[in-house]
Structure 1
Amino acid sequence: MKLNGKVAVVTGGARGLGRAYALRLAQLGADIVVVDIDLDAAREFGETLSAASVMDEVKAIGRRSMGIAADLTDRAQVDAMVQTAIAEFGRIDLLVNNAGGALTPAERSAASEIPEADTRFLMDLNYMSAVFCCQAVAPVMKRQEAGVIVNTSAQSGITTYKGGKLSGYGASKAAVTTYTRYLAAELGPFGIRANCISPGVMMTARIAAKAVERGVGTADEMAAIPLRRFGVAEDCANVLEFLATDLSQYVTGQVISVCGGAVLTPY
Protein backbone atom coordinates (compact mmCIF):
# COMPACT_ATOMS: atom_id res chain seq x y z
CA MET A 1 0.00 0.00 0.00
CA LYS A 2 2.63 2.50 -1.11
CA LEU A 3 0.00 5.18 -1.76
CA ASN A 4 -2.23 4.62 1.25
CA GLY A 5 -4.04 7.83 2.13
CA LYS A 6 -3.16 9.53 -1.16
CA VAL A 7 -5.60 10.92 -3.73
CA ALA A 8 -4.95 10.50 -7.45
CA VAL A 9 -6.63 12.26 -10.38
CA VAL A 10 -6.48 10.18 -13.58
CA THR A 11 -7.63 11.88 -16.77
CA GLY A 12 -8.93 9.76 -19.62
CA GLY A 13 -9.54 7.22 -16.88
CA ALA A 14 -12.71 5.56 -18.14
CA ARG A 15 -10.99 3.08 -20.46
CA GLY A 16 -7.69 1.77 -21.82
CA LEU A 17 -4.46 3.01 -20.28
CA GLY A 18 -6.30 5.41 -18.00
CA ARG A 19 -8.39 2.61 -16.55
CA ALA A 20 -5.26 0.50 -15.99
CA TYR A 21 -3.64 3.46 -14.22
CA ALA A 22 -6.67 4.05 -12.00
CA LEU A 23 -6.86 0.39 -10.97
CA ARG A 24 -3.12 0.10 -10.31
CA LEU A 25 -3.07 3.24 -8.15
CA ALA A 26 -6.10 1.95 -6.24
CA GLN A 27 -4.32 -1.35 -5.64
CA LEU A 28 -1.47 0.70 -4.18
CA GLY A 29 -3.86 2.35 -1.73
CA ALA A 30 -4.88 5.60 -3.44
CA ASP A 31 -8.38 7.00 -3.67
CA ILE A 32 -9.17 7.76 -7.31
CA VAL A 33 -10.82 10.62 -9.18
CA VAL A 34 -11.68 9.30 -12.64
CA VAL A 35 -11.95 12.15 -15.17
CA ASP A 36 -13.16 11.61 -18.72
CA ILE A 37 -15.24 13.39 -21.31
CA ASP A 38 -17.36 10.20 -21.31
CA LEU A 39 -17.38 8.13 -18.13
CA ASP A 40 -18.86 5.20 -20.12
CA ALA A 41 -16.12 5.37 -22.76
CA ALA A 42 -15.16 1.69 -22.36
CA ARG A 43 -18.35 0.67 -24.14
CA GLU A 44 -17.33 2.38 -27.40
CA PHE A 45 -14.72 -0.26 -28.22
CA GLY A 46 -16.11 -3.18 -26.24
CA GLU A 47 -13.68 -3.02 -23.33
CA THR A 48 -14.94 -5.35 -20.62
CA LEU A 49 -15.09 -3.99 -17.08
CA SER A 50 -15.41 -6.06 -13.92
CA ALA A 51 -18.09 -3.70 -12.60
CA ALA A 52 -20.53 -1.11 -13.91
CA SER A 53 -17.85 1.58 -14.19
CA VAL A 54 -14.19 2.19 -13.46
CA MET A 55 -15.26 4.00 -10.29
CA ASP A 56 -17.09 0.86 -9.18
CA GLU A 57 -14.04 -1.24 -10.00
CA VAL A 58 -11.97 1.00 -7.74
CA LYS A 59 -14.53 0.74 -4.95
CA ALA A 60 -14.42 -3.06 -5.27
CA ILE A 61 -10.70 -2.84 -4.51
CA GLY A 62 -11.62 -1.09 -1.27
CA ARG A 63 -10.74 2.50 -2.17
CA ARG A 64 -12.94 5.57 -2.52
CA SER A 65 -13.64 6.87 -6.01
CA MET A 66 -15.65 9.46 -7.88
CA GLY A 67 -16.14 10.17 -11.56
CA ILE A 68 -16.14 13.61 -13.11
CA ALA A 69 -17.19 14.19 -16.71
CA ALA A 70 -15.21 17.09 -18.18
CA ASP A 71 -13.84 18.44 -21.45
CA LEU A 72 -10.24 19.11 -20.47
CA THR A 73 -9.64 21.44 -23.40
CA ASP A 74 -11.85 23.92 -21.52
CA ARG A 75 -9.94 25.62 -18.68
CA ALA A 76 -13.15 26.41 -16.78
CA GLN A 77 -14.15 22.75 -16.74
CA VAL A 78 -10.66 21.76 -15.59
CA ASP A 79 -10.75 24.26 -12.72
CA ALA A 80 -14.21 23.04 -11.74
CA MET A 81 -13.00 19.43 -11.83
CA VAL A 82 -10.14 20.18 -9.44
CA GLN A 83 -12.42 22.12 -7.10
CA THR A 84 -14.87 19.20 -7.05
CA ALA A 85 -12.09 16.73 -6.28
CA ILE A 86 -10.78 18.91 -3.45
CA ALA A 87 -14.28 19.34 -2.01
CA GLU A 88 -14.72 15.56 -1.96
CA PHE A 89 -11.26 14.36 -0.87
CA GLY A 90 -9.54 17.43 0.58
CA ARG A 91 -6.27 16.96 -1.32
CA ILE A 92 -4.65 15.87 -4.59
CA ASP A 93 -1.35 14.01 -4.31
CA LEU A 94 -1.03 12.64 -7.82
CA LEU A 95 -2.11 13.85 -11.25
CA VAL A 96 -1.90 11.46 -14.20
CA ASN A 97 -2.52 13.33 -17.46
CA ASN A 98 -3.53 10.47 -19.72
CA ALA A 99 -6.36 12.06 -21.74
CA GLY A 100 -5.68 12.66 -25.43
CA GLY A 101 -4.80 10.74 -28.54
CA ALA A 102 -4.10 10.81 -32.27
CA LEU A 103 -7.73 11.43 -33.13
CA THR A 104 -7.38 13.04 -36.57
CA PRO A 105 -7.14 11.13 -39.89
CA ALA A 106 -3.71 9.57 -40.38
CA GLU A 107 -3.91 9.92 -44.17
CA ARG A 108 -3.66 13.72 -43.90
CA SER A 109 -1.15 13.86 -41.03
CA ALA A 110 2.09 14.46 -42.97
CA ALA A 111 3.94 17.58 -41.88
CA SER A 112 3.58 19.36 -45.23
CA GLU A 113 -0.12 18.59 -45.55
CA ILE A 114 -1.81 18.50 -42.16
CA PRO A 115 -4.74 20.94 -42.06
CA GLU A 116 -4.68 23.83 -39.63
CA ALA A 117 -7.87 22.56 -37.99
CA ASP A 118 -6.26 19.17 -37.24
CA THR A 119 -3.15 20.82 -35.80
CA ARG A 120 -5.14 23.10 -33.51
CA PHE A 121 -7.41 20.24 -32.42
CA LEU A 122 -4.44 18.03 -31.52
CA MET A 123 -2.65 20.80 -29.64
CA ASP A 124 -5.79 21.47 -27.61
CA LEU A 125 -6.49 17.79 -27.02
CA ASN A 126 -2.99 16.71 -26.03
CA TYR A 127 -1.02 19.79 -24.98
CA MET A 128 -3.43 22.42 -23.68
CA SER A 129 -5.45 19.85 -21.71
CA ALA A 130 -2.27 18.77 -19.90
CA VAL A 131 -1.24 22.39 -19.29
CA PHE A 132 -4.66 23.26 -17.86
CA CYS A 133 -4.62 20.26 -15.52
CA CYS A 134 -1.06 20.90 -14.32
CA GLN A 135 -1.80 24.57 -13.70
CA ALA A 136 -4.97 23.70 -11.80
CA VAL A 137 -3.31 21.23 -9.41
CA ALA A 138 -0.01 23.07 -8.93
CA PRO A 139 -1.33 25.49 -6.26
CA VAL A 140 -2.86 22.54 -4.38
CA MET A 141 0.40 20.60 -4.41
CA LYS A 142 2.41 23.69 -3.47
CA ARG A 143 0.28 24.14 -0.36
CA GLN A 144 0.84 20.48 0.49
CA GLU A 145 4.57 20.87 -0.26
CA ALA A 146 4.40 17.55 -2.09
CA GLY A 147 2.94 16.00 -5.19
CA VAL A 148 3.57 13.91 -8.28
CA ILE A 149 2.61 14.76 -11.85
CA VAL A 150 2.88 12.15 -14.60
CA ASN A 151 2.21 13.43 -18.11
CA THR A 152 1.88 11.38 -21.29
CA SER A 153 4.16 11.81 -24.28
CA ALA A 154 4.22 9.29 -27.13
CA GLN A 155 6.63 7.41 -29.36
CA SER A 156 5.92 9.95 -32.10
CA GLY A 157 6.65 12.73 -29.62
CA ILE A 158 10.25 11.64 -29.02
CA THR A 159 11.11 10.30 -32.48
CA THR A 160 9.56 10.48 -35.95
CA TYR A 161 6.86 7.94 -36.74
CA LYS A 162 7.06 5.75 -39.84
CA GLY A 163 6.72 7.54 -43.15
CA GLY A 164 6.43 10.95 -41.52
CA LYS A 165 2.86 10.30 -40.43
CA LEU A 166 1.23 11.71 -37.26
CA SER A 167 3.20 14.96 -37.42
CA GLY A 168 0.59 17.00 -35.58
CA TYR A 169 0.14 14.38 -32.89
CA GLY A 170 3.90 14.04 -32.51
CA ALA A 171 4.34 17.81 -32.23
CA SER A 172 1.64 18.06 -29.56
CA LYS A 173 3.25 15.28 -27.53
CA ALA A 174 6.71 16.77 -27.97
CA ALA A 175 5.26 19.96 -26.51
CA VAL A 176 4.02 17.97 -23.50
CA THR A 177 7.49 16.48 -23.08
CA THR A 178 9.24 19.85 -23.04
CA TYR A 179 6.57 21.39 -20.83
CA THR A 180 7.10 18.59 -18.31
CA ARG A 181 10.80 19.38 -18.05
CA TYR A 182 10.06 23.04 -17.39
CA LEU A 183 7.42 22.04 -14.84
CA ALA A 184 9.93 19.82 -13.04
CA ALA A 185 12.46 22.65 -12.86
CA GLU A 186 9.90 25.07 -11.45
CA LEU A 187 8.11 22.79 -8.98
CA GLY A 188 11.02 20.74 -7.67
CA PRO A 189 11.77 23.20 -4.84
CA PHE A 190 8.19 22.70 -3.61
CA GLY A 191 8.67 18.93 -3.32
CA ILE A 192 6.72 18.22 -6.51
CA ARG A 193 8.03 15.82 -9.15
CA ALA A 194 6.96 15.84 -12.81
CA ASN A 195 7.80 13.12 -15.33
CA CYS A 196 6.53 11.68 -18.62
CA ILE A 197 5.57 8.22 -19.77
CA SER A 198 6.06 7.77 -23.52
CA PRO A 199 4.09 4.71 -24.70
CA GLY A 200 4.88 2.88 -27.89
CA VAL A 201 2.15 0.85 -29.62
CA MET A 202 -0.13 -0.29 -26.78
CA MET A 203 -2.81 -2.78 -27.77
CA THR A 204 -5.68 -1.27 -25.87
CA ALA A 205 -9.22 -1.96 -27.06
CA ARG A 206 -9.29 1.36 -28.96
CA ILE A 207 -5.95 0.79 -30.71
CA ALA A 208 -6.87 -2.78 -31.62
CA ALA A 209 -10.16 -1.58 -33.12
CA LYS A 210 -8.44 1.13 -35.17
CA ALA A 211 -5.24 -0.75 -36.05
CA VAL A 212 -6.08 -1.74 -39.63
CA GLU A 213 -7.65 1.60 -40.47
CA ARG A 214 -4.62 3.55 -39.21
CA GLY A 215 -1.91 1.13 -40.32
CA VAL A 216 -0.79 0.53 -36.74
CA GLY A 217 0.15 -2.80 -35.22
CA THR A 218 1.38 -4.48 -38.38
CA ALA A 219 3.59 -7.56 -38.45
CA ASP A 220 6.45 -5.49 -39.88
CA GLU A 221 6.10 -3.00 -37.03
CA MET A 222 6.25 -5.77 -34.46
CA ALA A 223 9.30 -7.31 -36.14
CA ALA A 224 11.13 -3.98 -35.73
CA ILE A 225 10.59 -3.98 -31.95
CA PRO A 226 13.52 -5.63 -30.13
CA LEU A 227 11.21 -7.35 -27.62
CA ARG A 228 9.08 -8.63 -30.54
CA ARG A 229 5.70 -7.73 -29.10
CA PHE A 230 3.36 -4.78 -28.75
CA GLY A 231 2.69 -3.32 -25.36
CA VAL A 232 -0.30 -3.88 -23.11
CA ALA A 233 -1.78 -1.52 -20.55
CA GLU A 234 -0.02 -3.22 -17.65
CA ASP A 235 3.37 -2.37 -19.18
CA CYS A 236 2.61 1.33 -18.75
CA ALA A 237 0.96 0.78 -15.36
CA ASN A 238 4.19 -0.81 -14.11
CA VAL A 239 6.13 2.31 -15.03
CA LEU A 240 3.46 4.53 -13.51
CA GLU A 241 3.83 2.63 -10.24
CA PHE A 242 7.54 3.51 -10.26
CA LEU A 243 6.90 7.19 -11.03
CA ALA A 244 3.98 7.56 -8.61
CA THR A 245 5.72 6.13 -5.56
CA ASP A 246 8.86 6.80 -3.56
CA LEU A 247 10.72 4.31 -5.75
CA SER A 248 11.38 7.35 -7.98
CA GLN A 249 11.81 9.96 -5.25
CA TYR A 250 14.99 11.29 -6.92
CA VAL A 251 13.59 11.23 -10.47
CA THR A 252 12.02 14.31 -12.04
CA GLY A 253 11.88 15.93 -15.47
CA GLN A 254 12.43 12.59 -17.20
CA VAL A 255 10.77 10.77 -20.08
CA ILE A 256 10.49 6.98 -19.84
CA SER A 257 9.81 5.30 -23.16
CA VAL A 258 7.64 2.19 -22.72
CA CYS A 259 8.07 0.80 -26.21
CA GLY A 260 9.84 -2.57 -26.10
CA GLY A 261 12.96 -0.93 -27.52
CA ALA A 262 11.30 0.70 -30.52
CA VAL A 263 13.04 3.95 -29.51
CA LEU A 264 16.71 3.40 -28.70
CA THR A 265 18.08 6.89 -29.22
CA PRO A 266 18.78 9.14 -26.23
CA TYR A 267 16.36 11.94 -25.57
Structure 2
Amino acid sequence: MAQDLTGKIALVTGSGRGLGNVMARKLAARGADVIVHDLAWDATSKFGEASNLGEVVKQIEAMGVRSMGVTGNIGDRDAVAAMRDEIESKFGNVEILVNCAGGDIGASGNKPEPNNILGITYEDLTTLTNNNLIGTMLVTQAFVPQMVAREHGIVVNIASVAAHVGVSHGGIYATLKAAVTHYTRCLADEVRSAGVRVNAVSPGPAKTARFQATRTVDPDKMNSNKVSMDRYAEPEEIADAVVFLCSPEAKFMHGQLLRVDGGLQLFAG
Protein backbone atom coordinates (compact mmCIF):
# COMPACT_ATOMS: atom_id res chain seq x y z
CA MET A 1 0.00 0.00 0.00
CA ALA A 2 1.24 3.48 -0.85
CA GLN A 3 2.89 5.38 1.97
CA ASP A 4 0.42 8.23 1.71
CA LEU A 5 1.04 9.52 5.24
CA THR A 6 4.72 10.22 4.67
CA GLY A 7 5.87 13.26 6.64
CA LYS A 8 2.67 13.49 8.70
CA ILE A 9 3.15 13.70 12.46
CA ALA A 10 0.86 11.39 14.44
CA LEU A 11 0.25 11.11 18.17
CA VAL A 12 -1.41 7.94 19.44
CA THR A 13 -2.20 8.05 23.13
CA GLY A 14 -1.87 4.77 24.98
CA SER A 15 0.40 3.43 22.25
CA GLY A 16 3.12 1.89 24.36
CA ARG A 17 1.13 -1.33 24.31
CA GLY A 18 -2.14 -2.93 23.25
CA LEU A 19 -4.33 -1.65 20.46
CA GLY A 20 -2.66 1.75 20.51
CA ASN A 21 0.73 0.18 19.83
CA VAL A 22 -0.57 -1.65 16.77
CA MET A 23 -2.23 1.57 15.55
CA ALA A 24 1.08 3.41 15.92
CA ARG A 25 2.92 0.72 13.94
CA LYS A 26 0.31 0.74 11.19
CA LEU A 27 0.56 4.53 10.85
CA ALA A 28 4.34 4.24 10.70
CA ALA A 29 4.02 1.62 7.96
CA ARG A 30 2.07 4.19 5.95
CA GLY A 31 4.95 6.65 6.37
CA ALA A 32 3.84 8.76 9.34
CA ASP A 33 6.25 9.93 12.02
CA VAL A 34 4.72 8.63 15.25
CA ILE A 35 4.80 9.85 18.84
CA VAL A 36 4.08 7.00 21.24
CA HIS A 37 2.64 7.56 24.68
CA ASP A 38 2.02 5.67 27.87
CA LEU A 39 1.27 6.46 31.48
CA ALA A 40 4.87 5.82 32.55
CA TRP A 41 8.12 4.88 30.80
CA ASP A 42 8.01 1.25 31.94
CA ALA A 43 4.22 0.78 31.76
CA THR A 44 4.74 -1.17 28.54
CA SER A 45 6.13 -4.09 30.53
CA LYS A 46 3.00 -4.82 32.57
CA PHE A 47 1.81 -7.52 30.17
CA GLY A 48 5.18 -8.28 28.62
CA GLU A 49 4.79 -6.28 25.41
CA ALA A 50 8.00 -4.23 25.67
CA SER A 51 10.57 -3.50 28.36
CA ASN A 52 9.91 0.25 28.19
CA LEU A 53 8.68 3.01 25.91
CA GLY A 54 12.18 3.55 24.54
CA GLU A 55 12.12 0.05 23.08
CA VAL A 56 8.83 0.86 21.33
CA VAL A 57 10.36 4.05 19.90
CA LYS A 58 13.32 2.09 18.49
CA GLN A 59 11.00 -0.48 16.92
CA ILE A 60 9.07 2.24 15.11
CA GLU A 61 12.24 4.08 14.05
CA ALA A 62 13.41 0.81 12.51
CA MET A 63 10.49 1.17 10.09
CA GLY A 64 12.22 4.21 8.59
CA VAL A 65 10.25 6.99 10.25
CA ARG A 66 10.86 9.33 13.16
CA SER A 67 9.49 8.51 16.60
CA MET A 68 9.62 9.73 20.18
CA GLY A 69 8.05 8.69 23.46
CA VAL A 70 6.11 10.82 25.93
CA THR A 71 4.59 9.89 29.25
CA GLY A 72 1.86 11.29 31.44
CA ASN A 73 -1.67 10.86 32.73
CA ILE A 74 -4.06 12.15 30.06
CA GLY A 75 -6.56 12.99 32.80
CA ASP A 76 -4.09 15.49 34.31
CA ARG A 77 -4.27 18.91 32.63
CA ASP A 78 -0.72 19.87 33.57
CA ALA A 79 0.68 16.56 32.32
CA VAL A 80 -1.09 16.97 28.99
CA ALA A 81 0.23 20.52 28.62
CA ALA A 82 3.76 19.30 29.33
CA MET A 83 3.42 16.56 26.70
CA ARG A 84 2.17 19.08 24.15
CA ASP A 85 5.07 21.44 24.81
CA GLU A 86 7.62 18.61 24.53
CA ILE A 87 6.11 17.27 21.31
CA GLU A 88 5.84 20.63 19.61
CA SER A 89 9.35 21.69 20.60
CA LYS A 90 11.02 18.45 19.52
CA PHE A 91 8.81 17.16 16.73
CA GLY A 92 6.50 19.87 15.43
CA ASN A 93 2.75 20.13 14.99
CA VAL A 94 0.61 17.04 15.44
CA GLU A 95 -1.44 16.44 12.29
CA ILE A 96 -3.03 13.12 13.25
CA LEU A 97 -4.38 12.52 16.75
CA VAL A 98 -5.63 9.11 17.82
CA ASN A 99 -7.21 9.21 21.28
CA CYS A 100 -6.74 5.58 22.25
CA ALA A 101 -5.67 5.75 25.92
CA GLY A 102 -8.35 4.54 28.33
CA GLY A 103 -9.93 1.26 29.25
CA ASP A 104 -11.97 -0.34 32.00
CA ILE A 105 -9.18 0.27 34.49
CA GLY A 106 -9.73 1.54 38.00
CA ALA A 107 -7.61 3.35 40.56
CA SER A 108 -5.57 0.21 41.33
CA GLY A 109 -4.48 -0.17 37.72
CA ASN A 110 -6.74 -3.20 37.32
CA LYS A 111 -10.44 -3.62 36.60
CA PRO A 112 -12.71 -1.93 39.15
CA GLU A 113 -14.04 -4.17 41.90
CA PRO A 114 -16.99 -4.02 42.24
CA ASN A 115 -17.62 -3.03 38.64
CA ASN A 116 -21.33 -2.34 38.60
CA ILE A 117 -23.00 1.08 38.45
CA LEU A 118 -24.45 1.07 41.96
CA GLY A 119 -21.46 -0.43 43.72
CA ILE A 120 -18.40 1.08 42.03
CA THR A 121 -16.21 3.11 44.36
CA TYR A 122 -15.76 6.85 44.04
CA GLU A 123 -12.04 6.36 43.40
CA ASP A 124 -12.72 4.01 40.50
CA LEU A 125 -15.50 6.23 39.18
CA THR A 126 -13.25 9.28 39.00
CA THR A 127 -10.32 7.30 37.58
CA LEU A 128 -12.45 5.85 34.79
CA THR A 129 -13.91 9.26 33.99
CA ASN A 130 -10.49 10.92 33.84
CA ASN A 131 -8.92 8.16 31.76
CA ASN A 132 -11.69 7.68 29.23
CA LEU A 133 -13.60 10.94 28.84
CA ILE A 134 -11.86 13.89 30.46
CA GLY A 135 -8.49 12.67 29.18
CA THR A 136 -9.81 12.48 25.62
CA MET A 137 -11.16 16.01 26.00
CA LEU A 138 -7.95 17.40 27.48
CA VAL A 139 -5.73 15.90 24.77
CA THR A 140 -8.13 17.17 22.11
CA GLN A 141 -8.05 20.67 23.57
CA ALA A 142 -4.25 20.54 23.64
CA PHE A 143 -3.76 19.65 19.97
CA VAL A 144 -6.86 20.35 17.88
CA PRO A 145 -6.93 24.17 18.12
CA GLN A 146 -3.63 24.19 16.23
CA MET A 147 -5.20 21.96 13.56
CA VAL A 148 -8.09 24.40 13.25
CA ALA A 149 -5.66 27.30 12.87
CA ARG A 150 -3.82 25.42 10.09
CA GLU A 151 -7.13 24.30 8.53
CA HIS A 152 -5.95 20.71 8.40
CA GLY A 153 -5.89 17.75 10.76
CA ILE A 154 -7.33 14.35 11.61
CA VAL A 155 -8.76 13.05 14.88
CA VAL A 156 -9.84 9.48 15.57
CA ASN A 157 -11.37 8.72 18.95
CA ILE A 158 -11.49 5.14 20.22
CA ALA A 159 -14.77 4.13 21.80
CA SER A 160 -16.01 0.55 22.36
CA VAL A 161 -18.88 -1.73 21.38
CA ALA A 162 -19.83 -1.47 25.05
CA ALA A 163 -20.94 2.09 24.27
CA HIS A 164 -23.92 0.93 22.21
CA VAL A 165 -25.76 -1.49 24.49
CA GLY A 166 -26.84 -1.61 28.11
CA VAL A 167 -24.52 -3.70 30.28
CA SER A 168 -24.73 -4.72 33.91
CA HIS A 169 -20.98 -5.24 34.33
CA GLY A 170 -18.65 -2.40 33.42
CA GLY A 171 -21.52 0.03 33.07
CA ILE A 172 -19.50 3.13 33.93
CA TYR A 173 -16.90 2.32 31.28
CA ALA A 174 -19.70 1.72 28.77
CA THR A 175 -21.34 5.03 29.68
CA LEU A 176 -18.09 6.95 29.27
CA LYS A 177 -17.38 5.38 25.89
CA ALA A 178 -20.91 6.31 24.81
CA ALA A 179 -20.04 9.85 25.82
CA VAL A 180 -16.89 9.65 23.68
CA THR A 181 -19.01 8.76 20.63
CA HIS A 182 -21.27 11.78 21.13
CA TYR A 183 -18.28 14.00 21.92
CA THR A 184 -16.91 12.91 18.54
CA ARG A 185 -20.07 14.11 16.79
CA CYS A 186 -20.09 17.42 18.65
CA LEU A 187 -16.41 18.04 17.93
CA ALA A 188 -16.97 17.12 14.28
CA ASP A 189 -19.72 19.71 14.02
CA GLU A 190 -17.55 22.36 15.67
CA VAL A 191 -14.55 21.92 13.35
CA ARG A 192 -16.34 20.95 10.12
CA SER A 193 -15.72 24.30 8.43
CA ALA A 194 -12.02 24.26 9.43
CA GLY A 195 -11.02 21.22 7.37
CA VAL A 196 -10.31 19.04 10.41
CA ARG A 197 -11.76 15.53 10.10
CA VAL A 198 -13.07 13.79 13.22
CA ASN A 199 -14.32 10.20 13.43
CA ALA A 200 -14.48 7.35 15.93
CA VAL A 201 -13.95 3.59 16.01
CA SER A 202 -15.73 1.21 18.36
CA PRO A 203 -13.69 -1.99 18.63
CA GLY A 204 -15.12 -5.31 19.61
CA PRO A 205 -13.16 -7.68 21.87
CA ALA A 206 -9.60 -7.95 20.54
CA LYS A 207 -6.72 -10.29 21.38
CA THR A 208 -4.44 -7.82 23.12
CA ALA A 209 -2.07 -8.94 25.85
CA ARG A 210 -4.21 -7.18 28.48
CA PHE A 211 -7.39 -8.80 27.19
CA GLN A 212 -5.90 -12.26 27.38
CA ALA A 213 -4.32 -11.67 30.79
CA THR A 214 -7.38 -10.20 32.53
CA ARG A 215 -10.31 -12.16 31.09
CA THR A 216 -11.49 -15.71 30.81
CA VAL A 217 -11.33 -16.18 27.06
CA ASP A 218 -13.30 -18.56 24.87
CA PRO A 219 -10.68 -20.77 23.16
CA ASP A 220 -12.86 -21.18 20.07
CA LYS A 221 -13.03 -17.40 19.60
CA MET A 222 -9.22 -17.18 19.65
CA ASN A 223 -9.05 -18.87 16.25
CA SER A 224 -8.81 -16.13 13.60
CA ASN A 225 -8.67 -18.68 10.79
CA LYS A 226 -12.22 -19.92 11.34
CA VAL A 227 -14.85 -19.09 8.73
CA SER A 228 -17.25 -17.61 11.26
CA MET A 229 -16.77 -14.02 12.41
CA ASP A 230 -17.93 -15.08 15.87
CA ARG A 231 -14.43 -14.62 17.25
CA TYR A 232 -12.12 -12.09 18.86
CA ALA A 233 -10.50 -9.51 16.60
CA GLU A 234 -6.83 -9.46 15.80
CA PRO A 235 -5.50 -6.07 17.00
CA GLU A 236 -4.40 -5.38 13.42
CA GLU A 237 -8.02 -5.58 12.28
CA ILE A 238 -8.95 -2.72 14.61
CA ALA A 239 -5.87 -0.71 13.66
CA ASP A 240 -6.64 -1.06 9.94
CA ALA A 241 -9.90 0.84 10.44
CA VAL A 242 -8.11 3.61 12.32
CA VAL A 243 -5.47 3.96 9.62
CA PHE A 244 -8.18 4.04 6.96
CA LEU A 245 -9.85 6.99 8.72
CA CYS A 246 -6.47 8.76 8.81
CA SER A 247 -5.83 8.17 5.12
CA PRO A 248 -6.82 10.10 1.97
CA GLU A 249 -9.22 7.27 1.16
CA ALA A 250 -11.46 8.59 3.95
CA LYS A 251 -11.09 12.27 3.07
CA PHE A 252 -14.88 12.89 2.99
CA MET A 253 -15.74 10.88 6.12
CA HIS A 254 -16.52 13.13 9.05
CA GLY A 255 -18.40 12.69 12.31
CA GLN A 256 -18.79 8.97 11.70
CA LEU A 257 -18.54 5.93 13.95
CA LEU A 258 -17.16 2.62 12.67
CA ARG A 259 -17.98 -0.48 14.70
CA VAL A 260 -15.22 -3.00 14.03
CA ASP A 261 -16.64 -6.06 15.72
CA GLY A 262 -17.17 -8.78 13.12
CA GLY A 263 -20.92 -8.20 13.22
CA LEU A 264 -21.23 -8.62 16.99
CA GLN A 265 -23.73 -5.76 16.98
CA LEU A 266 -26.06 -5.58 14.01
CA PHE A 267 -28.51 -2.71 14.33
CA ALA A 268 -29.17 0.69 12.85
CA GLY A 269 -27.44 3.74 14.30
What TM-score do you get using the length of structure 2 for normalisation?
Answer: 0.90
Q: Give the drift of 1:191.
A: 0.4
Q: Give the drift of 1:47.
A: 2.1
Pick from 48, 56, 59: which aligns with 2:58? 56
Mapping 1:102-181, distance limit 5 Å: 102-104=104-106, 105=111, 108-161=114-167, 164-181=168-185
Q: Decide whether aligned partners of structure 1 residues 266 and 116 sit closer, same or farther in structure 2, where only a CA change above 3 A counts.
A: farther
Mapped to 1, the partners of 2:207 and 2:229 lie a distance apart of 15
2:34 equivalent in structure 1 = 32
Contact 2:13–2:98, Cα closer than 8 Å, also in 1: yes
Mapped to 1, the partners of 2:76 and 2:29 lie a distance apart of 31
Mapping 1:1-267, distance limit 5 Å: 1-47=3-49, 53-104=55-106, 105=111, 108-161=114-167, 164-212=168-216, 217-218=217-218, 227-267=229-269
Which deviations, in whole Å up to 9, do the C-alpha atoms of 1:8-54 show, x marking residues without a partner? 001001011111011111111111111111233332112268x9611
Provide the identity percentage. 36
Contact 1:78–1:136, Cα closer than 8 Å, also in 2: yes
The AA in structure 1 aligned to 2:45 is R
| Structure 1: gaps of 5 or more residues | none
Contact 2:163–2:176, Cα closer than 8 Å, also in 1: yes
The AA in structure 2 aligned to 1:218 is D
Q: Decide whether aligned partners of structure 1 residues 178 and 116 sit closer, same or farther in structure 2, where only a CA change above 3 A counts.
A: same
| Structure 2: gaps of 5 or more residues | none
Q: Give the drift of 1:89.
A: 2.0
Q: Give the drift of 1:220.
A: 8.9
**How large is the RMSD of aligned CA atoms in angstroms?**
2.1
Contact 1:40–1:53, Cα closer than 8 Å, also in 2: no
How many residue pairs get aligned? The number is 259
Secondary structure of the 1:53 match is helix
Contact 1:197–1:256, Cα closer than 8 Å, also in 2: yes
Mapped to 2, the partners of 1:39 and 1:191 lie a distance apart of 34
Mapped to 2, the partners of 1:59 and 1:157 lie a distance apart of 35
The AA in structure 2 aligned to 1:209 is A
Contact 1:13–1:34, Cα closer than 8 Å, also in 2: yes
The AA in structure 1 aligned to 2:69 is G
Mapped to 2, the partners of 1:207 and 1:18 lie a distance apart of 13
Contact 1:222–1:228, Cα closer than 8 Å, also in 2: no
Q: Decide whether aligned partners of structure 1 residues 262 and 75 sit closer, same or farther in structure 2, where only a CA change above 3 A counts.
A: same
Contact 2:112–2:120, Cα closer than 8 Å, also in 1: no
Contact 2:128–2:172, Cα closer than 8 Å, also in 1: yes
Mapped to 1, the partners of 2:94 and 2:100 lie a distance apart of 16
The AA in structure 1 aligned to 2:153 is G
Contact 1:8–1:95, Cα closer than 8 Å, also in 2: yes
Q: Give the drift of 1:258.
A: 1.1
Mapped to 2, the partners of 1:221 and 1:66 lie a distance apart of 35
Secondary structure of the 2:231 match is coil
The AA in structure 2 aligned to 1:191 is G
Mapped to 2, the partners of 1:41 and 1:236 lie a distance apart of 22
Greater fraction helix: 1
